[in-house]
Amino acid sequence: MLRSTLFALSVVAALTTAARADLSASATVSLVSVTGPADDHTYNYRVNVTDTGDTHIGTFWYAWIPGYDFLTSSPTITDSPPGWYAYPSGVGPPYDGYSIQWYNYSGDNIEPGQTFSFGFSSGDSPTVLSGNSPVLGYPMQTSYVYMGGPMGDPGFSFVLPAPIAAPEPATISVVAAGSLLLLRRRRHV
């Protein structure tokens, strides 16, 4: 009898702990580079997703809410964490848009406090990503994370901030060269 009661209490405690799991995330998008002719740019992005909850993340679905895709251009996947599978989805305008679903197929989940990076290319500029879906009106960067597979749990929805432009390599070189000159000058004074 005592064993049955202890077992029942441990099951209730486990279920209560699982029910309290807080799925939460934040992310940033950085413009890594721009390629192609001026009238037909391809924008290359890096998305850093941080698990801010107290349970793991097994799926990141970018520019999407259940049933709706927000990107105006079909994306190309450029990078995924090891063991994560990437799947661009959507039918495109005028009825819908596009999105990208990344899910952990055989790698590690994003654990609380960890950040994983994802990469994609698109014809959508940072200005377009910062706006609302032209078809549906939702913020373009509304996204979802799930603990397991896509739509396998209630998930967590959030909107990413406007893309951050990465400094151009030439800018970094100029700043570094200027800093070296100032340091040399101070040593000679």
Confidence (pLDDT) at 188:
52
Confidence (pLDDT) at 73:
92
Asked if 141 and 129 touch (Cβ cutoff 8 Å), the reply is yes
- What is this structure's pTM? 0.78
How does 77-107 read in b/e, with b if 16+ C-beta sit within 10 Å?
Answer: eebbbeebebebbbeeeeebbbbbbbbbeee
Q: For 23-50, how does the pLDDT look when each residue is reduced to its tens digit (9 = 90+)?
A: 999 999 999 999 998 888 999 999 999 9
Instruction: Give the separation between CA 79 and CA 102, rounded to whole angstroms.
Output: 10
Confidence (pLDDT) at 1:
52
Round to the nearest angstrom and report the end-to-end CA distance of the chain.
Answer: 86
Higher pLDDT, 76 or 185: 76
Instruction: Give the separation between CA 2 and CA 73, rounded to whole angstroms.
Output: 62
Domain ranges in the chain?
A: 21-178
Please, which pLDDT band fits residue 168 given cuts at 50, 70 and 90? low
Instruction: Give bridge partners of residue 43 from the DSSP assignment.
Output: 34, 122
Q: For 100-125, how does the pLDDT look when each residue is reduced to its tens digit (9 = 90+)?
A: 999 999 999 999 999 999 999 999 99
**Residue among 17, 116, 11 nearest 62 (CA):** 116
Is pLDDT above 60 for 18?
no
Share of the chain above pLDDT 90, in %: 67
21-178 placed in CATH 2.60.40.290: yes
